[in-house]
Structure 1
Amino acid sequence: MNNMLDSSHYRPTRWALIMMGQWPFEPPGKNRFFKCLTIFLIISMCLPTMTKFAMSVTDIDIVMECIPILCVYAAAFIKFFTWVIDDDMKGLLLSIERDWKNLKVPEHIELLAEFAERGRKINNFYATLIFGLLGLFLAMPAIPILMDVWIPLNQSRSRIFLYQTEYFVDQNEYYFLILIHAYITIPVVFVAIVYFDNLFSIFINHTCGMCNVLRLHLECVHIAGSFSDNATSEKRIQICADMQTNILQFVQRLESIYTIPFLLLVGMNMTVITSTGMMIVIKGAEISELIRFASFNVGTIFHLFWSSWQGHALIVESEAVYLSVYQSKWYTLSPKLQRMLLPLMMRSAKPCQISAGKFYVMSMESFGAAMRMTMSFFTLLLSMR
């Protein structure tokens, strides 16, 4: 598409989604191929871990070690199939394109571009952090190999497996083949998680940008010629109402798509934080294992923080629209125009928000509550062990 969706603001996410067959503007045959390839790679790594989990249900330590990686696989599938099943990504992206085209005032275009660029920088930081922690996680098997070179012993050190798997072969004999398989498939899982998170961030930052454009419109609604030389005050208020309607519809579509996936993801994040915390306590004496599970734990906490922070930003920016109505100097307008502003005030009184299952609002307050609950679960499990 020759439009804003091809710009640098969205390019990294667009290319990642293309490689997973999820960019809706690519040929269907190409998308089907890459979708099948992505699903095959994730399943090929998921099955050995599920098999090990099923065969070791009586060994609590192995079970606790399997839970985090299984939750990661589940998170990747949830994010991936959310768009396969719902198939509303194209509509949301076209809405973004429509909003860019509808803006005519340079200041408004610059404001929306500022939020798009902010989203790009934040997404790059998020991807860099998660893939950095992933690199630390993947580097753990190299430690005993390097130690054998630098500080050799009379016998080889024990090999480190990234996580528990069952291939029904001698895993020491096929260690490097198993490791190569993990190195090929694990990044695919994390690419699915990170770039679908980045897509969510694009939607949120665009909505925040449009809220700020709406605020700018409202604050200037009493100024003649603020939209166009011939626009009447009534026409200017109508433009604000249409823009608010588009924003609310966009958020409602996002909410309908993400509410159930977020419910599952928040629960899995809390489960992973608890289980990796347990593994840090269990294997804390082994430095390599401590680093491995600590990096996993930090990444999971940041993942939950990231989703909550995006939702919080949406709440803050949409709340500011309500205040902008008062800053529009409505009292200088005629009674008829004041009555036209009432629906905008009423609709902006309740901030836009994204929830998990309609009862857990994605916000920093909810993040704090989730972390407190997670620590309670962790303390309970630790006392029972």
Structure 2
Amino acid sequence: MLVHVLREYNVNKIFLSHLGLWPFQSKLVRNFLPIFCLVLEISYFPFEILILYDHQDDAQMVFEGFYQLVISTAFLVRLWNEIWNRDKFQCLYEAMNDHWNIFTNDLEVRILKEYSTISRKFTIFYSITMYLLSSMFIVIPLSSVFLDIVMPLNESRPRILAIDVEFRVDVNEYFMPLFCYTTAIIVVGMSIMVAADTMHFTCTTHACSLFSIIGKQIENIALERDVEICGGSASKELKLSDEQAIYQKYIICLKKYQLALKFVNILNSTHQTVAVFFLLLIGATLSLIGVRIVYVLNQMEEMIRFTFIIMGALLQLMIMCYSGQKLMDESQNIFYRAYAAKWYIYSPRLKSLLITTFYRSYTPCCLTAGKLVPLSMTTYAAVIRAGMSYFTAFLSIKE
């Protein structure tokens, strides 16, 4: 039983369980719910293709169809990644629970608690923000329904769905079932993003806490070594027993460092493929939505709705890149903390351990997209820049 995970990351577990993505659920739930969500999202693709086919001469509707196609693909890619890497995610969650049993002294528990609190607060904030944005996106088109109740006319106002799609039926006549269907598509897709993104951030934050612990311990061992030397004889030689004790502490610290590196490798393997698609899809979303907004500059409601989509896409990209940047910074801090010690007066045995630490920590750990592009704030800026470039290119096509 994952006692520590269920205590510290219970909010993440709830989000994943509602989609059948929690690997410790019953087999029936783990198989049925993800397949249901997958089929539901795939069922929307034919209608998106229809809107492209039926309105191929209308540039505005073409951009409408393409951005919906991109967002639906993002939902499917995220869900499929969770299903495909289920065993790896199970290993990650079990490793997180084991770390709470391995890192047990006061300093280690305090740092683990600090980072788990950060991840919990982020999960709550991010989920509220994303669901609020999606709720506004769904509710704003219902203004005509509200106006019919508050200020009725001789005839009903035209009904508008949250997303423009070609069902080839009378929307006014079948408004309620179509509205429920499109709402389900949006809510399930947003739930997939919230569950996957928050758990990814939580795992990355946990990895940061491990590197923070290791860096602090290396710093404490170095300070202890310096105090022993300063209080020793003029020859600055430690007693054999003191030297052996410090050496053993450093060995234990390096073993924990290996656990952290193994955890990051598994975490990276679960996201490096989907990250490539995600960077491309978010860049495409920004450019396509930008062009779509140009078409509705005189329609305030539509502008607000599409602004919500851009805000959500930018927030998702920010989380993915910022968490990767934070991981890089925390892992490289180990090098700086070890180098700050008076390593040049250490015994040969301690020097050999420090050299190993220098060599490994000099190159920071990072999460990558396709083993090529590191997820960092530099990548964040590059994706936005590329999205704006394609936006101007699409805008010229529109004109």
Question: TM-score interval w.r.t. the shorter chain?
Answer: over 0.9
Letter in 2 for 1:23: W
Q: CA deviation at 1:22?
A: 1.3
> Measured at CA, do residues 24 and 240 of structure 1 come closer, stay the same or move farther in structure 2, by a change above 3 Å?
same
C-alpha offsets along residues 72-91 of structure 1, whole Å, 9 cap, x if unaligned? 22112111111322331011
**Residue aligned with 1:88, SS:** helix
CA contact (8 A) 1:262 1:355 kept: yes
C-alpha offsets along residues 174-196 of structure 1, whole Å, 9 cap, x if unaligned? 01210011222311110001110
Which one of the candidate residues 291, 304, 316 is aligned to 2:317?
304
- Please identify, of 136-145 and 155-164, the stretch whose mean Cα deviation from structure 2 is larger: 155-164
C-alpha offsets along residues 167-223 of structure 1, whole Å, 9 cap, x if unaligned? 332222101210011222311110001110011101100000001100111011246
1:206-245 equivalences under 5 Å are: 206-222=206-222, 232-245=245-258
- Please identify, of 363-372 and 269-278, the stretch whose mean Cα deviation from structure 2 is larger: 363-372
State the 4+ residue runs in structure 1 displaced beyond 6 angstroms.
Answer: none
Q: CA deviation at 1:307?
A: 1.0
- Please identify, of 147-156 and 348-357, the stretch whose mean Cα deviation from structure 2 is larger: 147-156
CA contact (8 A) 2:34 2:83 kept: no
CA contact (8 A) 1:140 1:288 kept: yes
Residue 30 of structure 2 corresponds to 31
In structure 2, the gaps of 5 or more residues are: 226-241
Q: CA deviation at 1:2?
A: 4.5
Q: CA deviation at 1:50?
A: 3.3
CA contact (8 A) 1:219 1:325 kept: yes
CA distance in structure 2 between the partners assigned to 1:231 and 1:292 by the alignment: 65
CA distance in structure 2 between the partners assigned to 1:223 and 1:231 by the alignment: 16
> Measured at CA, do residues 33 and 325 of structure 1 come closer, stay the same or move farther in structure 2, by a change above 3 Å?
same
Matched, 1:262 2:275: yes
Q: Percent identity?
A: 25
CA contact (8 A) 2:16 2:195 kept: yes
Q: CA deviation at 1:39?
A: 1.9
C-alpha offsets along residues 274-318 of structure 1, whole Å, 9 cap, x if unaligned? 111111110111122111111111211221112111111111111
- Please identify, of 51-60 and 213-222, the stretch whose mean Cα deviation from structure 2 is larger: 51-60
Which one of the candidate residues 372, 376, 382 is aligned to 2:389?
376
Q: CA deviation at 1:18?
A: 1.2
1:335-346 equivalences under 5 Å are: 335-346=348-359
Q: CA deviation at 1:98?
A: 1.3
> Measured at CA, do residues 194 and 61 of structure 1 come closer, stay the same or move farther in structure 2, by a change above 3 Å?
same
1:25-64 equivalences under 5 Å are: 25-64=24-63
**Residue aligned with 1:220, SS:** helix
Letter in 2 for 1:104: T
Matched, 1:78 2:58: no
Matched, 1:287 2:286: no
Letter in 2 for 1:167: F
Matched, 1:110 2:110: yes
CA contact (8 A) 1:68 1:276 kept: yes
**Residue aligned with 2:43, SS:** helix
Q: CA deviation at 1:336?
A: 1.6
**Residue aligned with 1:161, SS:** coil
Q: CA deviation at 1:54?
A: 4.0
Q: CA deviation at 1:129?
A: 1.4
In the superposition, the TM-score normalised over structure 1's length comes to 0.93
Letter in 2 for 1:37: F
Matched, 1:189 2:214: no
Matched, 1:271 2:288: no
Matched, 1:13 2:26: no
Q: CA deviation at 1:154?
A: 4.6
In structure 1, the gaps of 5 or more residues are: none
CA contact (8 A) 1:220 1:328 kept: no
Letter in 2 for 1:218: I
CA contact (8 A) 2:222 2:338 kept: no
CA distance in structure 1 between the partners assigned to 2:119 and 2:381 by the alignment: 23
C-alpha offsets along residues 52-72 of structure 1, whole Å, 9 cap, x if unaligned? 334433432112112222222
CA contact (8 A) 1:224 1:232 kept: no
Q: CA deviation at 1:153?
A: 4.3
What value does the CA root-mean-square deviation take over the aligned residues?
2.0
CA contact (8 A) 1:244 1:344 kept: no
Which one of the candidate residues 325, 328, 347 is aligned to 1:334?
347
- When the two structures are aligned, how many residues end up with a matched partner? 381
Residue 92 of structure 1 corresponds to 92
In the superposition, the TM-score normalised over structure 2's length comes to 0.90
